[in-house]
């Protein structure tokens, strides 16, 4: 049976990297999709691939409780994917208030709207991040570690996790939290991120920019693996081993920034163009690494894509996108 057929799904952050892919997947699975959209970005994959014409779009912001409550009530939503957030670490450093309003107020607004309409809201998947754990002495991160963010973005994700747990423990709201490593893949047009930024630079025969010293380590998880993790969580949310919990999702294989850049240079045959290392990163955790054992044992989830495989799948999308962008400007 198709679990998603005729499910009524509300997605925040639908125009982002993960949201656009999730919308497309759910439409394919015959779900009725309602998306919260603050700004219409024609370069978002949700608009470029035409899926925006196959869903219901609610124009509004996470900070607007009335908007969220109306959408959930009017469309009788049974499933919520909360992906919406200010997701860029450097923006959070420059504008902490903007980040806290979106990521913290936005989360409790949405959870409260779901609580009010709990009779028909059956499952809520909240997208968090490995940043929620903060800077710890011993890696990898495990779900037994508490959320302890220090910097603005990290704190906003720690609060997101705590709010979700609070609404579950207090009101039995059926929530589950997904903590992923750095997500990448086709459709990400946040050029400050290392993978899309490096691909764009190399397509333009320019030096890729590395903000840090290049030695910071991260988990990098391909967007299709993220989609499978979110959908698995929703499908299994009635399991007492899942509801109210937080799960890590990552490849269990961290890479340094310079290793990622070199992998992209190699895949694009651009080894003659070296990176420009600024060593100026601020308010960023140096090393992060997730243990995903709990997701494997409880959900049966495993990543299908290695970093090399994901990068090779991603590069052609950017080459085509950037070519079309140039032709449009001409």
Active-site residue set: 153
Do you find a cis peptide bond into 140, omega within 30 degrees of 0?
Answer: yes
Phi and psi, residue 86, nearest 5°: -80, 110
DSSP letter for 15, please. Answer: T
| Contact between residue 239 and residue 214 where contact means Cβ atoms under 8 Å apart | no
Length of the chain equals 330
DSSP letter for 287, please. Answer: B
| Residue keyed to tokens 């030096």 | 207
d(Cα 161, Cα 240) in Å, to the nearest integer? 18
Nearest to 284 by CA among 80, 129, 108: 129
d(Cα 220, Cα 256) in Å, to the nearest integer? 10
């Amino acid at each position: 049976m198709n679990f998603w057929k005729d499910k009524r799904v509300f997605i925040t952050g639908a125009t982002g990297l993960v949201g656009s892919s999730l919308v497309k997947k759910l439409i394919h699975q015959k779900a009725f999709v309602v998306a919260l959209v603050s700004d219409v970005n024609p370069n978002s994959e949700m608009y470029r691939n035409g899926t925006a014409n196959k869903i219901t779009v609610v124009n509004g912001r996470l900070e607007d409780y009335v908007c969220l409550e109306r959408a959930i009530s009017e469309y009788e939503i049974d499933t919520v994917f909360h992906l919406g957030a200010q997701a860029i670490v450097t923006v959070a450093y420059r504008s902490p208030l903007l980040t806290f309003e979106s990521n913290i107020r936005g989360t409790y607004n949405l959870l409260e709207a779901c609580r009010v309409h709990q009779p028909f809201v059956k499952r809520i998947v909240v997208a968090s991040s490995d940043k929620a754990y903060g800077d710890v002495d011993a890696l990898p991160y495990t779900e037994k570690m508490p959320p302890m963010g220090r910097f603005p973005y990290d704190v906003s994700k720690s609060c997101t996790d705590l709010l979700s747990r609070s609404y579950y423990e207090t009101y039995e709201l059926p929530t589950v939290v997904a903590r992923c490593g750095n997500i990448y893949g086709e459709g990400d047009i946040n050029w400050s991120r290392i993978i899309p930024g490096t691909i764009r630079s190399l397509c333009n025969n320019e030096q890729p920019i590395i903000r840090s010293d290049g030695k910071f380590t991260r988990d990098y998880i391909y967007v299709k693996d993220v989609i499978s993790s979110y959908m698995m969580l929703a499908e299994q949310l009635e399991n007492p081993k899942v509801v109210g919990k937080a799960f890590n999702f990552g490849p269990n294989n961290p890479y340094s920034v310079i290793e990622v850049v070199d992998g992209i240079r190699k895949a694009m045959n651009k080894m003659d163009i070296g990176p420009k290392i600024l060593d100026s990163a601020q308010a960023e955790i140096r090393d992060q690494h997730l243990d995903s054992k709990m997701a494997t044992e409880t959900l049966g989830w495993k990543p299908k894509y290695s970093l090399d495989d994901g990068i090779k799948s991603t590069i052609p999308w950017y080459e085509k996108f950037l070519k079309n962008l140039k032709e449009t400007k001409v």
